[in-house]
Amino acid sequence: ETGVTQSPTHLIKTRGQQVTLRCSSQSGHNTVSWYQQALGQGPQFIFQYYREEENGRGNFPPRFSGLQFPNYSSELNVNALELDDSALYLCASSLASWDYGYTFGSGTRLTVV
């Protein structure tokens, strides 16, 4: 059984650029959630995908978008990067939206300069 894998592990981007982060969910998990974690803070919910459909969204602007593919892997896209977007981006997979423990990936550390 494989866990959740995220790529890349680290990324440096310039303000205004666009970025795509990728996540492969744990085998058998059909739900993927994305979180943003600023330094010293708790994870903040960005959005969730269930069977390729967005299944809930947090307080993030539309320039944060995502996709889930038939194999349940997922992407997080961020357009027009801002300095405040610098954070650890965590992907978590689960069997259902919230009724089971989430399995997190190791995250992508994004730095916007």
Q: Does 33 bind other proteins (CB under 8 A)?
A: yes
Q: Which among 11, 17, 7, 41 has a CA at the least distance from the CA of 111? A: 11
Task: Draw the binding track, 52-81, toward other proteins (x: CB under 8 A; -: no contact).
Answer: ---xx-xx----------------------
Q: How far is the CB of 61 from other proteins (least distance, A)?
A: 16
Give the span between the Cα atoms of 91 and 74, in whole angstroms: 9
Give the span between the Cα atoms of 104 and 93, in whole angstroms: 7
Give the binding site for other proteins (CB under 8 A).
33, 35, 41-45, 48, 55-56, 58-59, 90, 92, 97-107
